């Protein structure tokens, strides 16, 4: 009861606080991005019979070849990017430890193939084995707000009903399944659906040291205004109130250490994206839309709004892209198809992939079982979702790299 009262008191405070907009944020990137680091080099066990082979392959040769391998998205070689963490040579067998910038790396196979080809050009190399690890890099190193959160990714849409919250849930749980630490912040204050979609409706955040502790579902930390207000009652939101909620969700929630904080924004170009952009340095925004012209016009407006707010657009997802009949396999493009890819090209932003219309996607959202989205749907659905998650993760890495290099970003 005491916890409930404390939470209510905090909610009351945040709903009724008239908060001034924060001053312009300024982002000073780092030279402190993890550099190449020390590369551990181990030689294989010395059996006299193997000495000839071992001495013929040197670590310098291997490292020189690895310098010719570029990360296909970051367009730099994997040594310069600090991705090679160790090399060991045992006779003709070379083993390379590679640390990816995201556990959901979409280009792992390509990197593996490029390493294999490059290292095998060294005379005497018989096999090349790649050992993977991943450490998500921060796009906001040194940030005073949420210092433990490496990337803040907004999910927005030009209009409601296109599957924005669904996409936010898929991204959060998709990244979590790959091994990342993820939080999901429901900033859609006008229609908070994340508690239902993630199966934590009715949960109440506990309070610890005057901070709200977000409930966890399936390993994802979740915070939503839906935990605190009666969803059946109409709430009239004034601009300062929404800003108050966003500020409290950023400052008074114990998010801890996260690789990704996914923020589900309300549709359109209103107060909340503005508050978020003014409150915290963001990695970027993902825009969700359906393929028909009218939705694309709204999505284009959303992309331009984020540009104005100096929030980079990570790309566009086409949802409800097509429908495959589960009985006969017939494909229907109910809302047209391919419009988002064309719009992304025109706007010069990445296309992050398409999610088909499917009854399971709707059902798993309604019943709050997000994990099933990755396992219990037809293959064309789970594969499409996995591709969207890894492409988005790749674009977040690209943006982190760019932001770590950029001199200064500021919102005027
Ligand atoms: P928004 O956040 O844009 O308002 P939602 O994510 O709440 O949209 O989705 C609206 C409705 O459409 C929900 O019932 C959701 O389950 C359903 N939905 C979203 N994407 C799909 C899809 N690809 N296939 C089937 N139903 C979907």
* In a shared domain, residues 142 and 51: no
What is the pLDDT, as a whole number, of residue 9? Answer: 56
Do 127 and 251 lie in one domain? The reply is no
pLDDT of 6 reads 55
* From 161, 162, 165, 166, mutation site for ligand 1 pocket: most ligand atoms within 8 A of C-beta: 166
Mean pLDDT for all residues in the chain? 85
Residue 412 belongs to some domain of the structure: no
- Is 230 a domain residue? yes
Ligand 1: centre distance to CA 65 (Å) = 47
pLDDT at residue 13 greater than cutoff 60: no
Domain boundary among 115, 134, 153: 134
Compute, in angstroms, the gap from residue 167 CA to the centroid of ligand 1.
8
CATH number of the CATH domain containing 389? 3.40.50.300
In a domain, 31, yes or no: no
Beta bridge mates, 131: 97
152 CA → ligand 1 middle, Å: 22
Ligand 1 mutation target, pool 190, 359, 365, most atoms within 8 A of CB: 365
- Considering the domain boundaries, does residue 374 fall inside one? yes
- Higher-pLDDT residue of 142 and 220 is 220
Residues 327 and 372 in one domain: yes
Q: Is the pLDDT of residue 10 over 70?
A: no
**What local confidence, expressed as pLDDT, does residue 263 receive?**
96
In a domain, 22, yes or no: no
Whose tokens are 């790396």? That residue is 105
Say what the alpha-carbon torsion angle 252, 143, 268, 253 is, to the nearest 10 degrees.
Answer: -10
Last residue of a domain, one of 134, 150, 168: 134
pLDDT tens digits, one per residue of 348-381: 999 999 999 999 999 999 999 999 999 999 999 9
Question: Residue 21: which pLDDT band, with cuts at 50, 70 and 90?
Answer: very low
pLDDT tens digits for range 214-257 = 999 999 999 999 998 877 776 777 777 888 889 899 999 999 99
Q: Are residues 153 and 48 in the same domain?
A: no
Q: For residue 363, which atom of ligand 1 is closest to its CA?
A: 16
Lowest model confidence (mean pLDDT) among 15-24, 110-119, 139-148, 392-401: 15-24
Measured CA to CA, the distance from residue 93 to residue 127 in angstroms comes to 5
pLDDT at 163: 96
pLDDT of 299 > 70? The answer is yes
pLDDT for res 410: 46
Cα 276 to middle of ligand 1, angstroms: 23
> Which pLDDT score, from 0 to 100, does residue 198 have?
97
Residue nearest to atom 9 of ligand 1 (CA): 163
179 and 256 assigned to the same domain: yes
Q: What is the pLDDT of residue 38?
A: 40
Task: Tell me how far apart the alpha carbons of residues 337 and 140 are, in angstroms, rounded to a whole number.
Answer: 36
User: Candidates 155, 161, 163, 354: which one to mutate for ligand 1, based on the most atoms within 8 Å of Cβ?
Assistant: 163
Model pLDDT, residue 46: 37
pLDDT in tens, 304-339: 999 899 999 999 999 999 999 989 999 999 888 888
Is a pLDDT exceeding 60 seen at residue 95? yes
What is the arithmetic mean of pLDDT over 57-73? 95
pLDDT on residue 230: 76
Task: Say whether both 216 and 196 belong to one domain.
Answer: yes
Residue bearing the bigger pLDDT, 401 or 270 = 401
- Residue 169 and residue 313 in one domain: yes
| Same domain flag for 114 and 262 | no
Note every long-range contact of 328-336, with CB atoms under 8 Å and residues 24 or more positions apart, other chains counting: 333/291, 335/290, 335/291, 335/292, 335/295, 336/291, 336/292, 336/293
pLDDT cut 70: percent of the chain above it = 84
Q: Output the ligand 1 site: residues, CB below 6 A.
A: 157, 160-166, 193, 267, 319-320, 355, 357-358, 361-362, 365
Domain boundary among 99, 134, 169: 134
Same domain, 402 and 283: yes
Give the distance (Å) from ligand 1 centre to CA of residue 144. Answer: 35
Closest ligand 1 atom to residue 168 Cα is 6
Judgement on whether residues 386 and 292 belong to the same structural domain of the protein = yes
Q: Of 164 and 276, which is predicted with more confidence?
A: 164
Number of domains in the chain: 2
Lowest mean pLDDT among 36-50, 217-231, 282-296, 302-316: 36-50
Q: Are 262 and 378 part of one and the same domain?
A: yes
Lowest-confidence region among 41-55, 161-175, 214-228, 384-398: 41-55
| 25 located within any domain | no
Which structural domain, as residue segments, surrounds residue 297?
Answer: 138-406
Residues 176 and 312 in one domain: yes
20 inside domain = no
Closest protein CA for atom 13 of ligand 1:
362
Higher pLDDT, 168 or 299: 168
Please check whether residue 133 is in contact with residue 83, taking contact to mean a CB–CB distance below 8 angstroms.
no
Give residue 219 CA to ligand 1 midpoint distance, Å: 22
- The verdict on residue 8 lying in a domain is no
Distance 375 CA to ligand 1 centre (A): 18
CATH of the domain at 100: 3.30.300.130
């Amino acid at each position: 009861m005491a916890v409930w009262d404390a939470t209510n008191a905090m909610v009351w405070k945040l709903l009724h606080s008239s908060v001034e907009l924060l001053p312009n944020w300024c982002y000073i990137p780092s030279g402190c991005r993890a550099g190449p680091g020390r590369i551990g080099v181990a030689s294989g066990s010395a059996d006299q019979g193997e000495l000839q082979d071992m001495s013929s392959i040197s670590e310098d040769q291997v490292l020189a070849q690895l310098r010719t391998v570029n990360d296909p998205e970051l367009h730099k070689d994997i040594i310069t990017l600090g991705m090679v963490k160790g090399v060991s040579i045992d006779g003709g067998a070379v083993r390379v430890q590679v640390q990816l910038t995201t556990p959901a790396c979409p280009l792992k196979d390509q990197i593996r193939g490029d390493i294999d080809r490059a290292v095998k050009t060294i005379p005497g190399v018989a096999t090349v084995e790649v050992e993977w690890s991943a450490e998500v890099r921060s796009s906001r190193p040194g940030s005073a707000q949420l210092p433990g959160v490496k990337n803040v990714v907004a999910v927005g849409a030009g209009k409601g009903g296109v599957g924005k919250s669904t996409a936010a849930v898929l991204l959060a749980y998709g990244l979590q399944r790959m091994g990342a630490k993820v939080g999901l912040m429901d900033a859609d204050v006008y229609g908070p659906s994340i508690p239902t979609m993630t199966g934590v409706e009715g949960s109440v955040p506990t309070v610890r040291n005057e901070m709200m502790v977000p409930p966890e579902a399936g390993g994802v930390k979740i915070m939503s205004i839906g935990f605190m207000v009666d969803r059946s009652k109409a709430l009239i939101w004034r601009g300062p109130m929404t800003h108050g909620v966003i500020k409290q969700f950023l400052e008074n929630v114990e998010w801890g250490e996260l690789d990704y904080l996914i923020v589900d924004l309300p549709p359109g170009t209103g107060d909340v994206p503005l508050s978020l952009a003014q409150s915290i340095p963001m990695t970027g925004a993902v825009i969700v839309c359906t393929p028909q012209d009218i939705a694309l016009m709204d999505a284009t407006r959303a992309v331009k709004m984020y540009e104005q707010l100096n929030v980079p657009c990570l790309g566009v997802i086409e949802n409800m892209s097509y429908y495959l009949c589960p009985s006969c396999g017939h494909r229907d493009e109910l809302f047209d198809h391919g419009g988002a890819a064309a719009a992304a090209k025109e706007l010069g932003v990445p296309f992050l992939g398409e999610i088909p219309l499917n009854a399971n996607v709707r059902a798993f959202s309604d019943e709050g079982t997000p994990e099933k989205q990755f396992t219990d749907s037809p293959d064309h659905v789970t594969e499409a979702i996995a591709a969207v998650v890894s492409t988005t993760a790749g674009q977040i890495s690209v943006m982190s790299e760019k932001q770590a290099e950029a001199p200064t970003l500021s919102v005027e």
